[in-house]
């Protein structure tokens, strides 16, 4: 039975807060994923985009990738990848991953759907890829998906890679395609781009493997619930089964929202909630304080926590943290809470409605009405 590892969005070379520790975090997660592939005796590895954080990675990022691939190469494990929006090369650029084709690295689907057929575990496996296509390339994406579904019959085990935001996995307005647009004759559709793990069976098994390290504070809640992991997939006779294996090297990250009087105590409580699980990395805290306090005071007070890394704190001068009941709130409640202006909240809702239909003229009219109203309310 063929077995492979699917991982994604490693963003090798990314450095936040201008500290080497954070750059190292992304290398640690990448190498741990490679080790998991070796420990689970996979036949091949697939990566669904944003391998590097930029299409022109630094020398260290390239070296770390090479070292990981050399470990796979010692076991003759091929590596198949596509390009995400971060590492897609410019029109005349050469992809960094392409340098290592002699080590079994296959960069696929740069400008069109590509596939290869290999034999693993006594069964043929079709492995295909479509790199990230958005903006002016979006119409072409539909054509490439149709090509992937139009491959001649005879290959039961079909693994298709794609790096896109797909409705209903993500906000429809920011997606390039819908679920039914995908090549649903596949056995396993390996997705990249979204950083949280998701899966669904819609004929084939469809899965976003998620990122291997937390790149944005927007990922913190997802990380607290399900961690960061890689997918180990067994495929046979057209059926795919997935096992998640959690990465242990990921730096713990916390989001602390508090007020000027309580934030130190809240930081302590958050730190105490972090489970060690053998991970000795200092937690990274994203701190937001509501109230009248200076940045100088905050920086001085948080300096007592030498076992923590802080991103730059955010200070909101409003005295209270906006709270919204999630069981009854609608989008307008959120706009009202953060814009603190009912007319602006109304405008935001109207613009959202026009945006869904690409009605630029309607948007401009709504803004013009608000402008006229403000002129009328302003004394001469």
Q: Residues 308-366: pLDDT tens digits? A: 999 999 998 876 665 555 444 556 666 766 666 777 777 777 777 666 566 666 666 66
Instruction: Report percent pLDDT > 70 for the chain.
Output: 85
Structure letter (DSSP) for residue 131: -
Task: For the full predicted model, state whether its pTM sits above 0.85.
Answer: no
- Residue 326 has a pLDDT of 47
Q: 322 lies in a domain?
A: no
- SS3 call for 225: helix
Number of domains in the chain: 3
- Mean pLDDT across the chain: 87
Task: Judge whether 102 lies within some domain.
Answer: yes
Q: Note whether 345 and 367 are same-domain residues.
A: yes
Does position 238 have pLDDT exceeding 70, yes or no?
yes
Task: Return the higher-pLDDT residue of 91 and 191.
Answer: 191
What pLDDT is attached to residue 378?
44
Whether 124 and 235 have beta carbons less than 8 Å apart is answered as: no
Confidence of residue 95 (pLDDT cuts 50, 70, 90): confident
Beta-strand runs (E) in 63-142: 79-81, 105-107, 114-120, 123-130
The CATH number covering residue 142 comes to: 3.60.21.10
Look at the block and give the residue holding tokens 């002016």: 136
Mean predicted confidence (pLDDT) in 55-77? 95
Q: What is the pLDDT of residues 286-301, one digit of tens each?
A: 999 999 999 999 999 9
Q: Are residues 120 and 191 in the same domain?
A: yes
Q: Is residue 325 part of a domain?
A: no
Give the model's pLDDT for residue 344: 79
CA 296 to chain centre: 34
Q: How far apart are the C-alpha atoms of 216 and 50, rounded to whole Å?
A: 14
Tens of pLDDT, residue by residue over 176-229, are: 999 999 999 999 999 999 999 999 999 999 999 999 999 998 898 889 889 999
The mean pLDDT value for 30-48 works out to 98
Cα 110 to Cα 114: distance, rounded to the nearest angstrom: 8
Q: Give 233's strand partners.
A: 4, 242
Does residue 26 form part of some domain?
yes
Residues 197 and 303 in one domain: no
Q: Which two tokens stand for residue 84?
A: 């995400």
If asked whether residues 198 and 309 sit together in one domain, one would say no
Taking residues 118-138, report their average pLDDT: 91
242 and 268 assigned to the same domain:
no
337 and 206 within one domain: no
Which of 90-94, 97-101, 185-189, 257-261 shows the lowest mean pLDDT across its residues? 90-94
Range of the domain at 366: 331-377
Q: Stretch 71-90: mean pLDDT, rounded?
A: 92
The least confident of 96-110, 225-239, 260-274, 329-343 is 329-343
Which ranges in 40-166 belong to alpha helices (H)? Answer: 59-73, 138-149
Question: Where in the sequence numbering do the catalytic residues fall?
Answer: 86
> Does one domain contain both 60 and 181?
yes
The predicted model gives 72-80 an average pLDDT of 96
Give me the pLDDT at residue 300, please: 94
**N- to C-terminal Cα separation, the chain:** 80
Report yes or no on 63 lying in a domain: yes
Whether residues 9 and 30 share a domain: the answer is: yes
Domain final residue pick, 190, 212, 246: 246
Tell whether 116 is covered by a domain.
Answer: yes
The alpha carbon of 250 is separated from its chain's Cα centroid by a whole number of angstroms, namely 15
Which pLDDT value is given to residue 139?
A: 85
DSSP classification of residue 248: S
What's the rounded mean pLDDT across residues 70-77? 96
Residue with tokens 């985009």: 49
């Amino acid at each position: 039975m063929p077995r492979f590892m699917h991982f994604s969005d490693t963003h090798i070379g990314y450095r936040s807060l201008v500290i080497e520790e954070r750059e190292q975090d992304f290398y640690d997660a990448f190498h741990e994923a490679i080790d998991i592939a070796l420990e689970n005796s996979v036949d091949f590895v697939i990566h669904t985009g944003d391998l590097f954080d930029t299409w022109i990675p630094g020398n260290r990022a390239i070296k770390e990738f090479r070292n990981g691939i050399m470990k796979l190469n010692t076991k003759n494990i091929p590596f198949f990848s596509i390009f995400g929006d971060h590492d897609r090369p410019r029109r005349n650029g050469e992809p960094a991953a392409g340098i290592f084709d002699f080590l079994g690295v296959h960069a696929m689907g740069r400008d069109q759907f590509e596939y290869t057929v290999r034999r693993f575990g006594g069964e043929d496996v079709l492995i295909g890829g479509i790199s990230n296509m958005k903006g002016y390339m979006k119409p072409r994406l539909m054509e490439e998906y149709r090509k992937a579904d139009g491959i001649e019959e005879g290959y039961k085990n079909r693994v298709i890679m794609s790096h896109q935001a797909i409705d209903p996995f993500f906000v429809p307005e920011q997606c390039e395609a819908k679920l039914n647009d995908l090549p649903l004759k596949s056995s396993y559709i390996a997705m990249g781009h979204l950083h949280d793990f998701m899966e669904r069976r819609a004929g084939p098994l469809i899965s976003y493997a998620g990122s291997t390290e937390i790149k944005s504070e927007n990922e913190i809640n997802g990380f607290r619930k399900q961690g960061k992991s890689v997918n180990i997939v067994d495929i046979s006779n057209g059926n795919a089964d997935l096992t998640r294996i959690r990465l242990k090297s990921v730096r713990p990250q916390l989001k602390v929202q508090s007020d000027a009087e309580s934030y130190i105590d809240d930081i302590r409580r958050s730190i105490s909630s972090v489970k060690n699980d053998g991970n000795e990395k200092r937690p990274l805290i994203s701190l937001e304080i509501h109230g009248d306090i200076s940045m100088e005071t905050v920086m001085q007070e948080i300096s007592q926590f030498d076992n923590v890394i802080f991103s730059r704190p955010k200070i909101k001068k409003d005295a209270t943290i906006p709270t919204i009941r999630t069981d009854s709130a609608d989008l307008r409640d959120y706009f009202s809470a953060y814009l603190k202006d009912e007319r602006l909240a109304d405008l935001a809702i109207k613009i959202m409605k026009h945006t869904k239909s690409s009605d630029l003229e309607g948007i401009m009219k709504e803004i013009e009405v608000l402008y006229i109203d403000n002129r009328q309310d302003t004394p001469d």
